Structure 1
Amino acid sequence: MKQELKYLVLHCTATPEGRDVSAAEIRRWHTSPVSAGGRGWKQVGYTDLVHLNGSVERLVANNEDAWVDPWEITNGAKGYNSISRHIVYAGGVAADGKTPKDTRTAAQKAALEKYVKDFHTAHPKVKIIGHNQVAAKACPSFDVSAWLREIGINQ
C-alpha cells in the first residue's frame, strides 16, 4: 500500500573525504547477507547518490509523485522509510575515516542544492531533514536546517 510522501532525508555515505562510492558498492553494503559483511536488506538505503563530481545517480526507480509506492521504499531511516525518499552524497567523514565532517565538494553542493530545490518545488509540503534529525547519528555531517535557510528554503 502506498503512503503519502512526508520527508526527504539527506544522508552521507560515511566514507572518507575524497573517496567516491559506486552504486554497486552501496548495493553490496546494504543488500549482501550479514554473514558476508552486508546488512541483509532487501533494498538499498537511498533513492539517489550524489558523486564527488556532482553527477546524480538513481539507485532505486521512483515515479516522482507525492506517494511512496511499495517498490520505491528504501532503507534510509528506520521508522521513516515508507513515507520518505532518501538522497546520499559520497563522503561525510574526515580522511581518518571516523570523524564526521562536511566533505561535500563544490560540485556536490551545487548538485544537492539543485536536487533539493527541484524536489521542494515539486513537493512543497514535504519536510527536508538530515538523517541525524531522526536517528542518533552524525549523518549527513552538516546542519541541514541551516543549509536550507542558506539556499532560500524556509519550511
Structure 2
Amino acid sequence: MAQLKRLVLHCTATPEGREVSAADIRHWHTDPVSKGGRGWKQVGYTDIIHLDGKVERLVDNNEDAQVDPWEITNGAKGYNSTSRHVVYVGGVAADGKTPKDTRTPAQKQAMEAYVKDFHRRFPSIPVVGHNQLAAKACPSFDVQAWLKEIGINQ
C-alpha cells in the first residue's frame, strides 16, 4: 500500500464521437498481445467518462488516500503504484491521429465534477495530465490551464 500522490487525466486516443466501452478497454489492455491486447494484468484506468458524461468504474477503489495493491492501474509507467487514473472517451480528431480536445459538454461537466470532488477530498494531491508524466499528447488538453478555469489552483 502506498500513499496516493496524484490523479492523472487521460484520453482513450480514439476519434471524436466514437464511443468506447469498458470491454474495449479491457481488451486493449489485458488481452494477450497475440489477441491484439497489451497483455497487462490490469487496465490502465480506475474510471472512464463516456461521451454522454456517464462515469463508469473499471477497477474497484475504496476512495481513500492510499493506493492498495488491488487498486493499481496501468495508466502511466513509473507512476502507477501512487496514482489514480481517469480517462475520457476521445482525444483524437476524426482523422484518427491528430490530438484534439474532443470532450463533449457532458464529459466536461462530468470531469469537472469528478475532479472537484477529488480535490475537495484530497486538496494536497495534485491533478495532472498524462502528458506531464510522459512524452505523450494525452489527454489532448492543457490540464493545468483547465484546472484554473474551473477554479482549482494547486
Q: Shorter-chain-normalised TM-score: which range?
A: over 0.9
Work out the CA distance in 2 between the residues paired with 1:74 and 1:124: 22
Work out the CA distance in 2 between the residues paired with 1:70 and 1:124: 23
Work out the CA distance in 2 between the residues paired with 1:7 and 1:35: 33
1:129 CA displacement: 0.1
SS of alignment partner, residue 56 of structure 2? strand
| TM-score where L is the length of structure 1 | 0.99
What percentage of residue pairs aligned between the two structures are identical? 79
1:56 CA displacement: 0.2
Work out the CA distance in 2 between the residues paired with 1:122 and 1:22: 28
Q: CA RMSD in A?
A: 0.4
- Which amino acid in the other structure matches residue 39 of structure 2? G
Correspondence 1:2-81 to 2 at 5 A: 2-81=1-80
SS of alignment partner, residue 8 of structure 2? strand
Gaps of 5+ in 1: none
SS of alignment partner, residue 8 of structure 1? strand
Work out the CA distance in 1 between the residues paired with 2:102 and 2:78: 27
| TM-score where L is the length of structure 2 | 0.99
Query: Which of structure 1's runs of 4+ aligned residues deviate more than 3 A?
Result: none
Work out the CA distance in 2 between the residues paired with 1:144 and 1:117: 13
- Which amino acid in the other structure matches residue 114 of structure 1? A
Gaps of 5+ in 2: none
1:100 CA displacement: 0.2
